[in-house]
Structure formats: C-alpha cells, structure tokens
Amino acid sequence: MPSVYIKTYGCQMNERDSEAVAAQLVAKGYTLASSEVGADVILLNTCSVRDAAEQKAIGKMQNIAAEIRRNRPEVVLGFMGCMAQSRGQQLIDKLPDVDLVIGTQKFHRTVDYLDDILAGKRTKVVDVGEEQGSEATIREHILNGNTAENLVTAFVSIMQGCNQYCTFCIVPYTRGEERSRTIPDIVAECRELIARGVREITLLGQIVTSYGKRDIPIKDGKSGFVQLLEAVHEIEGLERIRFTSPHPKGYGDDLVEAYARLPKLVESAHLPVQSGSDRLLKIMHRGYTRERFLGILEKLRRIKPNMGITTDIIVGFPGETDADFEETLSLAREAKFHNAYIFKYSPRKDTPAAEMPDQLPQLVKEERNARLLALVNEIAASHYENYVGRQTQILVEGPSKKNSARMMGRTRTNKIVVFEGSERHRGQLMDVKINRAGSFTLYGDPAILNLD
C-alpha cells in the first residue's frame, strides 16, 4: 500500500486534524512514513495565521517538488488545512506539481481523493467547499505510533470555526462559522480514548468558550462549554482535563468556578489577551477591556493561586503607539504570565486590519517583540524558579524529546518536567521533587520510589 508523510504547521487544532487524517488513511491500508524521503504521498497541513507560516509551507513544497518529484514523478503532493482553504486553486497555479488541495471542512475526504489520484482516475483535485457536519468528522485517533499502550494524553476536537471576527485574524475565513459537536458525541470519543489508556484529554476548538452557544441552552447559569466540562469530568479513569483556546470575552464566572468544583480540571489556562491597550483592544474587536481581562485572572488566582496562565500577544498592530505598547508591557507585568507567545502583526488577506492606515515598519515590530520577550521571559523564569525545592504532581507522557534516555511529564500547571525514569512510569501520576529550573523545563526526581 502507498505510504504517506504528513507535515503539520501551526496550532494544536492542525495537529489534531493531521492525526485524524493519518488514522483514516491507516484504516484504509495506507502506511505512514516518518519523512518525505521515499513516501508515495506527501501532504502539508498548513497554517495561515501569519504570512511567515504560509511562506514556510510554500517553500517546503517548492523544495519537495524540486528534490523529490523531479526524481519520482509519481509522488502525489498535497496541501491541506488553512492555507489550502484560503488560497485554493491558486496554490496549483503557483506550484503546478501540487495534485491536491483540501480545505478545512474536507479533511475526511482526503482518503477518497488520494485513492482516485493514485488510481489515475483524477489528476488535480481542489476541494475547499463548506460541508455540513464536518465538525464531527475529526474523530479518529492515532497516537504515538499507533500502539495502544502508549496513549497518555489526547486532543479531542469539540468545535470548529469562529464568529468573533477580530480585525487581525484570518481564522473565521479559513475555519468558517462556529459549529459544535454534541456533548454525547464528544463524551463517547473521550470514553473510547480512556478505554485505550488515555489519562488526560485536551478539548480543542478555535474559541471553546463559544462551544454549543447556539444549540445548548444555559442550565443553572452554566454555559454549554461548562456543561461539556462537567460531562467529560464524569468519565471514570480520566485524570486530567485541559482545553484551548478560550476567549476572554466568553470567560464567565461559571467557567472560573468550574476550576473550584472540578478536580480533574487542571490549574492551567491559555487566555489570549493580544494587547494591554484598551484603545487597541477595541480596534481589534476583542470585546473586553484590560480591566476585565485582569479581573478574570484575579478570580482564577483567587481559586487556584498557582494557576499556570499563558497568553498570546500581538505587537505592531496598525497604529500601535509607544503609549499603547507601554500598556501591553505594563499588562504583562501585572498579569505575571507563566509564558506568552508573542506575534509580530502580519497583515492577512481580507481582514480589516490589513487595510488600516499606519501599518508599522518591520523594525518597530522587531524592537517591540524583543522588549516584550525579555520581560515575558524574566517573569516566566521566576515562575519556574519557584518550583525548585518543591514537590509537585506530574503525569508521565513518555521519553523526553531532547534526551530519550530520560522521561518527561507535565505538572497540572502545564510545565514540562524531565526526570530519570523508565517506560514503566509512562501514564503514571507521580510526585516529583524539582531540583532545577531550565528555560521552560523543570528537572526533578521521583519523590517516592514508585515501583509497580
């Protein structure tokens, strides 16, 4: 059977989509290749959030066409996901070696299209249409090389799309309107994963705080998303629940209180703020103020003082003044994020911000990026240092990526801990004593020898 190599760019949603496509291909008898060398089919699952991400995937495809396709003309090349959605046929016009362009609502069609192309029934396929119910088609799993014993953590897609239309963001155009899966459907998928040994589930969506907004009525003051958390929380054998990404606008008290009520919901939150300036938040169409954002953090920390809070911040949005940027710096200081992903503003096709006056020079973006990064890293380091000498619980996921002789796990607050361990620790909840903090990694020893 043909072998397929899938390379994924961008967010966890993309990783999850690639994983589902891979599982569907394996179910049809395809094998998975670990690199493009020798693969019969090469698929790039793309990201459009910034121009750099698009250029990276285009550059990669150009290399593949020049180096691989030239020697093996029968190799099938495809783009999937967000850039495929936004650029469609243009990608084939630009890169005539490409055979397949699959949009974000058509991942589940990949197998059929590949079958047809490989059988010579079709040549070029572009499918970027909308499809009703596509949010529920990303349900197959393939984890850690497809061996059931290995599964510890898994992503579950709960919704697709976003209706927020932030002025900088391409996601509503690449992912479409918000569509949510049902609670029973999601719970069934989680149960299946747990039966296969998964202990931790991360619920995924572009804007999870909008989950079920149209279909699930508020019950006892609880949103559809909180009702979903409760339903997943009930599942026996599940140890930990995470989710990403929420939107501050939809971060109600019901969600804050869920952290007090649901012990499996771990003390970790990724809450994108984008800017510390109220003026910019408004132009970005974020729907909250700096004060409201900081208020959410305060409430969360009142319930869980050690909550690991991370964020996304954009620097160099059109018209961002020195004063606006100072507000972002001061928010970062006040919010004391455990980490922040900083993005230099990148104009995106068809988004209002791309047309705004006062686009800032690259140099200003670079400079602000560097200043904010230094501050964020300094605050993050102090959080990591705080762990040294303390005992904390981790869930062991497997060998450390950097040094496979060691094992790694995560704290409930989402910090990576590397320790001397072995395969028998995989999947265990373990107490470790932290000896040392590196850059975004903690090093520790098992606090109690756990021999079974």
Q: Which residues bind ligand 5AD (CB under 6 A)?
A: 49-50, 168-169, 272, 274, 312, 314, 343, 345-346, 348
* Residues 429 and 239 sit within 8 Å (Cβ to Cβ): yes
Do strands 407-411 and 416-419 pair parallel, antiparallel, or not at all (unpaired)?
A: antiparallel
Q: C-alpha angle with apex 10: 317 to 193, nearest 5 degrees?
A: 135
Bridge partner list, 42: 5, 77
CA distance 241 to 248: 19
* Residues 158 and 185 sit within 8 Å (Cβ to Cβ): no
Q: C-alpha angle with apex 251: 312 to 314, nearest 5 degrees?
A: 15
Residue 136, CA atoms < 13 Å, CB-side half-sphere: 11
Chain centre distance of CA 49: 12
| Residue 340 CB, nearest approach to ligand 5AD (Å) | 10
| Residue 452 CB, nearest approach to ligand 5AD (Å) | 41
Residue 107 Cα distances to 70, 86, 403, angstroms = 27, 15, 34
| Residue 49 CB, nearest approach to ligand 5AD (Å) | 5
* Residues 259 and 306 sit within 8 Å (Cβ to Cβ): no
| Residue 273 CB, nearest approach to ligand 5AD (Å) | 9
Residue number, 184 or 361, with CB nearest to ligand 5AD: 361
Chain centre distance of CA 85: 18
What amino acid is encoded at 144 in this protein?
N
| Residue 50 CB, nearest approach to ligand 5AD (Å) | 5
| Residue 266 CB, nearest approach to ligand 5AD (Å) | 21
Residue number, 50 or 181, with CB nearest to ligand 5AD: 50
CA distance 189 to 178: 20
Residue number, 5 or 345, with CB nearest to ligand 5AD: 345
Residue number, 110 or 414, with CB nearest to ligand 5AD: 414
Residue number, 158 or 314, with CB nearest to ligand 5AD: 314
| Residue 78 CB, nearest approach to ligand 5AD (Å) | 24
* Residues 380 and 341 sit within 8 Å (Cβ to Cβ): no
| Residue 415 CB, nearest approach to ligand 5AD (Å) | 21
| Residue 205 CB, nearest approach to ligand 5AD (Å) | 13
Residue number, 348 or 426, with CB nearest to ligand 5AD: 348
At 347, list the tokens: 């104009």
In the 8-state DSSP scheme, what is residue 66? Answer: I
Residue number, 47 or 432, with CB nearest to ligand 5AD: 47
CA distance 149 to 152: 8
Residue number, 43 or 314, with CB nearest to ligand 5AD: 314
| Residue 345 CB, nearest approach to ligand 5AD (Å) | 5
**Which residues, other chains included, contact 452 with Cβ-Cβ below 8 Å and sequence gap of 6+?**
none
| Residue 18 CB, nearest approach to ligand 5AD (Å) | 17
DSSP 201-261: EEEE-TTGGGTTTTTS--BTTB-HHHHHHHHHHT-TT--EEEEE---GGG--HHHHHHHHH
Gyration radius of the chain's alpha carbons: 22
CA distance 448 to 433: 9
**Which residues, other chains included, contact 367 with Cβ-Cβ below 8 Å and sequence gap of 6+?**
none
Residue number, 308 or 427, with CB nearest to ligand 5AD: 308
Chain centre distance of CA 189: 19
